[in-house]
C-alpha cells in the first residue's frame, strides 16, 4: 500500500490566516452594521501600472500571430528580461551579477521553498524567529528537521535566531554553525532592515564557515535610506556564499501575474560543486519557465516610464506606512518598521498577547491586523499592520485607534 511522506505530518498546520478569517466572519455576522477595516493584508491592492499593461497587450497580440508566436521559454528565462535585471538591479548598484546568473521564475515563494532541494538533507538550517513560514516548512517537508515541539513552538534540529526589540529585530550570529542561513531584509513580518556593515558580518561569517546565505530581498524596492543594501551582492565576498531571491510581486504589483528570479553566482560552490549547475539542472528538469507574456511585462517594469510609475506606487504605499506609524506613535504605542518596508510591527499594550490585542482591535475598534505570534514564539506580544490598504481606510483606522 502506498505510504505518504511522513515529514508532512510534522507540520502543525497553519491556522493563522484561517483563524483570522473565521474571527472576522463571526464578528461581521453578529454585527452587520459595523465597518471593519482590514490592515492585515499581505497583498498589493493597486492595479498594474499602464506601461506594464501596454507591454502585456502587445505580448498577447504577438502570441496570436504566426511570425511572433513563442513556445517554451529558454531554461533560465528570456535574455531581454535577464539583461534588464542585471543592468538595473545589479550593475547600477555596483554589483557584479551577469544575466546568465539570473534564473527567471514565477515568484520568490516557490524559489525560496525549492532551493533547499539542492542541499543535503542533513544540512542544518538557521531561521529568524519571527519568520516568513516558507523557509521552515519547506525544510520540514524535505525531512531536514526533527519533530515539532508544541510547548516550545519549535522544530528540533532548526537553529532559531531570535529577533527582539533590544537588537532592532535583527538576528545575532548563532552559537552553533548552520549550513544554510535564511535572511530576509527588509523583513516580513517585522519591517526591520539590515545595514550594509551588519550584512557584511554575515557574509564574512558564511565565507569563514562554508555556510550559504539564502537572501530573500522581496521588499528591496521599499528601501529609501541610503545605507541599507538592496542586494546582498553589495557586500564583498557575497558571490562565494549567497543566493538571492527577488520578486515582482510587491515591487510592481505582480502577485496575480507571477514573476520573480533567483541569482546564483558562478563561483558559488559546495563540496567543490557549482550550485549554479545544480539549480540549472533542477530548473531544466522540473520547471518550464514563466510565461512569455509575463516576462515581457517584467521587462516593461525597467523601462523609463515603468520605473517612474512603479516608484510612485511604492511611495504611495509608504505614505500609508507613515500614516500608520505616526498614528500609532501618537496613540502611545511602541512601533518599528514601516520606514524601508511596508510592514509596521507594534508592541501590544501592557501584557496583552497578540491574539488578545487582535480581539480587542476587532471588537472595539473594528480594525483587523495580524497577530505577531503567528510568525513564531518571539512574535508573541507583537502585532503586524500593513501599508497595502486604501488611503481612506488607513486614515480612518488611525483615527479610530487615536480615540
Question: Within the chain, how many helices (H) and strands (E) appear?
Answer: 12, 17
User: Contact between 294 and ligand PLP (CB under 6 A)?
Assistant: no
User: How many Cβ atoms sit within 10 Å of the Cβ of residue 272?
Assistant: 5
- Per-residue string for binding with ligand PLP, 334-373, x by CB under 6 A? ----------------------------------------
Query: Which residue's CB is nearer to ligand PLP, number 178 or number 189?
Result: 189
How crowded is residue 327: how many other Cβ atoms within 10 Å of its Cβ?
A: 21
To the nearest whole angstrom, how small is the minimum distance from the Cβ of residue 343 to ligand PLP?
A: 9
The CB-of-112 to ligand PLP minimum distance in angstroms stands at 6
157-186 positions binding ligand PLP, by CB under 6 A? 184
Q: Is 75 helix (H, G, I), strand (E, B) or coil?
A: coil
Residue 190 makes contact with ligand PLP by CB under 6 A: no
| Position among 48, 52, 59, 108 found at the interface with ligand PLP (CB under 6 A) | 108
Contact pattern for ligand PLP over residues 114 through 133, marking x by CB under 6 A: ------------------x-
Question: What residues numbered 222-251 form the site for ligand PLP, per CB under 6 A?
Answer: 247, 249-250
Q: How far is the CB of 130 from ligand PLP (least distance, A)?
A: 11
Q: 337, exposed or middle or buried, with CB in 10 Å at 0-12, 13-18, 19+?
A: buried
Nearest in space to 39 (alpha carbons), one of 288, 349, 358: 358
Distance in Å, CB of 68 to ligand PLP, minimum = 28
> What is the closest distance, in whole angstroms, from the C-beta atom of residue 75 to ligand PLP in the complex?
19
Q: How far is the CB of 180 from ligand PLP (least distance, A)?
A: 16
User: Is the CB of residue 301 less than 8 Å from the CB of residue 307?
Assistant: yes
Q: How many residues does the chain have?
A: 403
Select the residue interacting with ligand PLP from 129, 179, 216, 393 (CB under 6 A): 216
Q: Which is nearer to ligand PLP, 111 or 393 (CB)?
A: 111
- The three-state secondary structure class of 390 is coil
Cell of 50: 499602464
Residue 387 CB, nearest approach to ligand PLP (Å): 13
Total of chain residues touching ligand PLP, rule CB under 6 A: 13
Residue written as cell 531570535?
Answer: 162
Beta carbon nearer to ligand PLP, 291 or 349: 291
Helix axes 50-63 and 304-330, enclosed angle (nearest 10): 140
The three cell numbers locating residue 290: 514563466
Distance CA 78, CA 90 (A): 17
Residue closer to ligand PLP, measured from CB, 116 or 249: 249
CB hemisphere CA count around 113 (13 angstroms): 12
We find the least distance from the C-beta atom of residue 92 to ligand PLP, in angstroms, to be: 22
188 sits near ligand PLP (criterion: CB under 6 A): yes
By C-beta, is 247 or 394 nearer to ligand PLP? Answer: 247
Rounded to whole angstroms, how far apart are CA atoms 216 and 206?
Answer: 16
CB 236 within 8 A of CB 223: no
Smaller CB separation from ligand PLP, 270 or 314: 314
CB of residue 245 vs ligand PLP: minimum separation in angstroms?
Answer: 7
| 3 state DSSP class of 128 | strand
HSE-up (13 A, CA, CB side) for residue 395:
4
Nearer CB in complex with ligand PLP: 132/155 = 132
Which part of the chain contacts ligand PLP (CB under 6 A), choosing from 56-64, 101-109, 164-172, 284-292? 101-109
Residue 290 to residue 302: CA distance in whole angstroms: 17
Nearest CA-CA partner of 82 in 56, 96, 102, 97: 102
Stretch 250-269 residues interacting with ligand PLP (CB under 6 A): 250, 255, 260
- Residues with Cβ within 8 Å of 208's Cβ and at least 6 positions away in sequence, in order, are none
CB nearest ligand PLP: which residue? 107
For residue 194, give the nearest of 153, 235, 159, 254 by alpha carbon.
235
Residue 108: CB minimum distance to ligand PLP, A: 4
- Residues that bind ligand PLP in the complex, under the rule CB under 6 A: 107-109, 132, 184, 188, 216, 218, 247, 249-250, 255, 260
Amino acid at each position: 500500500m502506498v505510504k505518504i511522506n511522513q515529514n508532512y505530518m510534522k507540520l502543525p498546520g497553519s491556522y493563522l490566516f484561517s483563524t483570522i478569517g473565521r474571527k472576522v466572519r463571526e464578528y461581521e455576522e453578529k454585527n452587520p452594521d459595523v465597518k471593519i477595516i482590514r490592515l492585515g493584508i499581505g497583498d498589493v491592492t493597486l492595479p498594474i501600472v499602464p506601461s506594464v499593461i501596454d507591454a502585456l497587450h502587445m505580448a498577447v497580440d504577438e502570441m496570436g500571430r504566426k511570425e511572433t508566436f513563442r513556445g517554451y521559454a529558454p531554461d533560465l528565462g528570456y535574455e531581454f528580461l535577464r539583461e534588464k535585471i542585471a543592468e538595473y538591479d545589479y550593475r547600477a548598484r555596483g554589483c557584479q551579477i551577469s544575466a546568465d546568473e539570473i534564473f527567471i521564475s514565477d515568484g520568490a515563494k516557490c524559489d525560496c521553498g525549492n532551493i533547499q532541494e539542492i542541499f543535503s538533507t542533513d544540512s542544518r538550517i538557521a531561521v529568524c524567529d519571527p519568520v516568513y513560514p516558507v523557509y521552515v516548512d519547506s525544510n520540514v517537508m524535505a525531512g531536514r528537521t526533527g519533530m515539532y515541539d508544541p510547548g516550545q513552538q519549535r522544530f528540533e534540529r532548526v537553529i532559531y535566531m531570535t529577533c527582539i526589540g533590544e537588537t532592532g529585530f535583527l538576528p545575532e550570529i548563532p552559537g552553533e554553525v548552520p549550513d544554510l542561513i535564511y535572511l530576509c531584509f527588509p523583513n516580513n513580518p517585522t519591517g526591520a532592515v539590515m545595514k550594509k556593515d551588519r550584512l557584511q558580518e554575515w557574509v564574512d561569517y558564511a565565507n569563514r564557515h562554508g555556510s550559504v546565505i539564502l537572501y530573500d530581498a522581496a521588499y528591496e524596492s521599499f528601501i529609501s535610506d541610503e545605507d541599507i543594501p538592496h542586494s546582498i551582492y553589495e557586500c564583498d565576498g557575497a558571490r562565494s556564499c549567497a543566493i538571492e531571491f527577488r520578486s515582482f510581486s510587491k515591487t510592481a504589483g505582480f502577485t496575480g501575474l507571477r514573476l520573480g528570479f533567483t541569482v546564483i553566482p558562478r563561483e558559488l560552490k559546495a563540496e567543490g560543486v557549482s550550485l549554479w549547475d545544480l539549480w540549472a539542472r533542477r530548473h531544466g528538469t522540473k520547471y518550464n519557465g514563466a510565461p512569455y507574456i509575463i516576462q515581457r511585462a517584467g521587462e516593461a517594469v525597467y523601462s523609463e516610464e515603468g520605473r517612474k510609475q512603479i516608484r510612485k506606487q511604492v511611495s504611495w504605499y509608504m505614505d500609508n506606512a507613515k500614516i500608520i506609524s505616526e498614528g500609532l506613535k501618537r496613540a502611545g504605542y511602541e512601533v518599528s518598521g514601516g520606514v524601508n518596508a511596508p510592514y509596521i510591527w507594534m508592541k501590544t499594550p501592557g501584557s496583552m498577547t497578540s491574539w488578545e490585542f487582535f480581539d480587542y482591535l476587532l471588537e472595539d475598534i473594528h480594525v483587523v491586523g495580524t497577530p505577531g505570534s503567528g510568525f513564531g514564539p518571539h512574535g508573541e506580544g507583537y502585532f503586524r499592520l500593513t501599508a497595502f490598504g486604501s488611503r481612506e481606510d488607513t486614515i480612518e483606522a488611525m483615527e479610530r485607534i487615536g480615540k
